[in-house]
Amino acid sequence: MSFFRFKKEQFVPQGKMKKEEVDKVVNEFNEDSQDTMYYFEPSDPDAHEVEKTEEDRKVILQLSNFITEEIRELGIEEKGFSEYNLSDLIQRIHLLESENKYQADLFLENTRNIEVYLTGNKLHDYASLLHEMLHLFSSSKVYIHPEKSPKVKVGYSIGEKMESFNEAVTEKLANELLLKHKKEISNLLHVQQREVESYVKKNRAYDRLRDALSLIIARASKEIGLDIDLLWEKVKRAYFTGNFFFLREFQRFYGEEFLWFLIRLDELIEKGELDEEEIPRIVSSKEHFREYIKRVRRKENRI
């Protein structure tokens, strides 16, 4: 079976659901996803799809190889990447052109389609594609509940929770893979290796969130006596496996409120109650973090 289609074992019933109810939801969800995949319409209604070139197909194959190699190096069981998987992967990736220069590239979690809005800068476009492909390869589950719409978990995020943390991990890992494979990328795109290095250095995507993630890993690793690289490996492994027990390591340093903070982070940013620029300072020490939590709690008690 393809890596990229939801399988029955990935559906997790919440509450009491009879087998026939679960089967019905699974079948309807997969049917809707399949229809949307085959009758694709871009999120930007003014965009049009560009036919993939032979170079595009080579890049997609190479990027998928980078990701599956990373998964193997993390010691995660890898089922094998077949021609069928590759064909399915290529079909799910949509290269689009739009007059809207601010249209963000997207991974559509329900259909597992990818939209990349081309800028004309190959290195940027393929780096963005790598980011979205990481979402596709990350751990996925569908939580279903009677009388509620299914919620899809992708990597660390589920619904609208943990999205910021998930994006930080994804972009940090994408940059790491670009540097790790800069020689292959330079040969593939006919660019200098230093151009790849420069692109990663100047990359501002989720930069404050990535700064915060690096600080969290550095501070927690020192506290628990674990090498930074080993803790980062735990973060990456959980991204692909969905096993999040290791997050308790962060709680050991920051305190019990840390998971609450990660879960509420997107909501706080969206409501304007927290600026992304503040996040690195908040997590730079457990003292700063606890001061921030006290302020939030005092504000909540006043409301």
pLDDT band at 165 (very low <50, low <70, confident <90, very high): very high
Q: Which of 148, 160, 177, 183 is nearest to 240 (CA)?
A: 177
pLDDT tens sequence across 123-139: 999 999 999 999 999 99
Of 268, 269, 263, 266, which is closest to residue 250 (Cα–Cα)? 263
Whether residue 225 is predicted with pLDDT greater than 80 in this model: the reply is yes
Q: What is the average pLDDT across 61-67?
A: 96
Can you give the pLDDT at residue 38?
83
d(CA 174, CA 200): 9
What is the Cβ-side half-sphere exposure of residue 60, based on CA atoms within 13 angstroms? 22
Q: How far apart are CA 43 and CA 29, in angstroms?
A: 19
pLDDT at residue 213 tops 60: yes
Look at residue 292 and tell me whether its pLDDT is greater than 70. yes
- Work out the pLDDT band at 114, boundaries 50, 70, 90: very high
Backbone angle region of 63, left / alpha / beta, with phi > 0 → left and psi within -120 to 50 → alpha: alpha
Q: Write down the pLDDT at residue 79.
A: 66
Confidence of residue 243 (pLDDT cuts 50, 70, 90): confident
More confident site: 250 or 179? 179
**Angle, alpha carbons 13-17-19 (nearest 5°):** 95
CA-atom Rg of the chain in angstroms = 20
pLDDT higher than threshold 60 for residue 1: no
Mean pLDDT of 12-33: 91
Identify which of 127, 103, 6, 7 has the alpha carbon closest to the alpha carbon of residue 48.
103
Q: Does the CA dihedral 165-169-174-179 come out positive or negative?
A: positive
Task: Calculate ∠ Cα 17-21-26, nearest 5°.
Answer: 110
Rounded to whole angstroms, the Cα distance separating 150 from 13 reads 9
Closest by CA to 52, choosing from 94, 105, 109, 89, is 94
122 vs 135: CA distance, rounded Å: 20
Paired with 113 in beta bridges are 108
- When the pLDDT of each residue in the chain is averaged and rounded to a whole number, the result is 92
Sequence length of the chain is 303
**pLDDT for 302:** 66
Question: Does residue 246 contact residue 234 with C-beta atoms inside 8 Å?
Answer: yes
Q: How far apart are CA 78 and CA 75, in angstroms?
A: 9
Contacts of 275 (CB under 8 A, 6+ apart): 269
- pLDDT over threshold 70, residue 245: yes
Name the burial class of residue 45, with classes exposed (0-12), middle (13-18) and buried (19+) by CB atoms within 10 angstroms of its CB.
exposed
**Token digits for 39?**
């009758």
Q: What is the pTM of this model?
A: 0.95
For residues 258 and 248, give the distance between their C-alpha atoms in angstroms, rounded to a whole number: 9
Report the pLDDT value the prediction gives residue 303, as an integer from 0 to 100: 53
